[in-house]
Amino acid sequence: MLADQILAAAAQTWPPFVLVAGLLLIGAVAAQEGLFEAAGTAIARARVGAVTLLLALLALDACVTAVLNLDTAVVFLTPVLVHAARSRGLDERPFLYGSVLMANTSSTLLPGSNLTNLLVVGAGSGGSFARHMLPAWLASSALTAVLLALVLPPRAEPHACAATTSCLRFGVGTAAIGGAAVAVLALPNPALPVAAVGVAACVLKRLPPRLDARMPTLLFLAAVALGTAARAWSVPAVGGRWATGGVAALASVVVNNLPAAVLFSARPPAHPLALLLGLDLGPNLAVTGSLSAVLWLRAARGAGARPSVVTYSLLGALVVPPTLAVSLALS
């Protein structure tokens, strides 16, 4: 009996982790080709104001998150946004914190945009999922960008850096992104095909497919353990849609959103979309909420920035309640 419960929990958990591993490999190839850097540089060179630049880069962040997963976005776009701000002589903080806040907020559009989406609702049809979630995704993403621009306006710094130049090139990484997007939208179980695309892209580019698996492995084991426990002892329902979203948001901060997703979805949840939204948006409250925050801290420090977990939580406390409310109302 226990063995069956462990196998059931593992069967629910492994496809999302494999899918995200494939998306991260694809993102690594695209980053090596300079795709993200070139897109950010092109936006930074545009003759627009500081606020418009911030909004444009956050829109890029939202699109990359939706197509390639939020972990890919924070790893490869955080340095792009930081360097874009520096190249224009702007305060980098709105760009730094915006990169992770927007990634979490905009990870609700496609099943592959966030591991928790796959754990709660499965892969299913990405097209129908996207059509259903599009209004909430647009509203919450726009609200996050506006709130960030109001709370942390991108003011000019006293010193300015020389702008970098990078040509936009389309290669294996771009093709792999397109292939992964089609697979996520069209296939009911895209994990293995997307992983195959990621490995193939790395082989074609002669890029060793290296991923730091320590934190994902720990989260996987924690998710399987909680999933097994939830199957052995029934987890009680938490109420209606609004209560489900709120409890899920708080649970993501307490135990991380991946284990929380397996815990609450071990049995079919009464309000799966509300659960999903709480688990996706709640991690903006604290860096303990998702793997993306850990990856963001590493990427930010690698870019020479000084991220603050306190500032992260203060901004999240302003962003999460309205974005969660509007998402629940529109979903």
Report the pLDDT averaged over residues 137-142.
Answer: 96
Percent of the chain with pLDDT over 70: 81
Cα dist from 95 to 218, 267, 292, whole Å: 30, 39, 16
Position 71 scores a pLDDT of 81
Report the pLDDT averaged over residues 42-54.
Answer: 85
> Which of 277, 231, 233 has its CA nearest to residue 252?
277
Say if CB 145 and CB 2 are below 8 A apart: no
Say if CB 112 and CB 125 are below 8 A apart: no
Q: Residue 137 — very low, low, confident or very high, per pLDDT cuts 50/70/90?
A: very high
Position 112 scores a pLDDT of 79
Q: Residue 163 — very low, low, confident or very high, per pLDDT cuts 50/70/90?
A: very low
Sequence spans of domains, the chain: 2-330
Q: Residue 42 — very low, low, confident or very high, per pLDDT cuts 50/70/90?
A: confident
Please state the separation of Cα 173 from the chain's center in Å: 19
Summarize pLDDT for 181-197 with one digit per residue, the tens.
788 677 767 778 888 99
DSSP character at residue 303: T
Summarize pLDDT for 10-34 with one digit per residue, the tens.
666 677 677 777 877 887 788 788 7
Q: Hey, which residues does 90 pair with through a beta bridge?
A: 156
Report the pLDDT averaged over residues 237-246.
Answer: 83
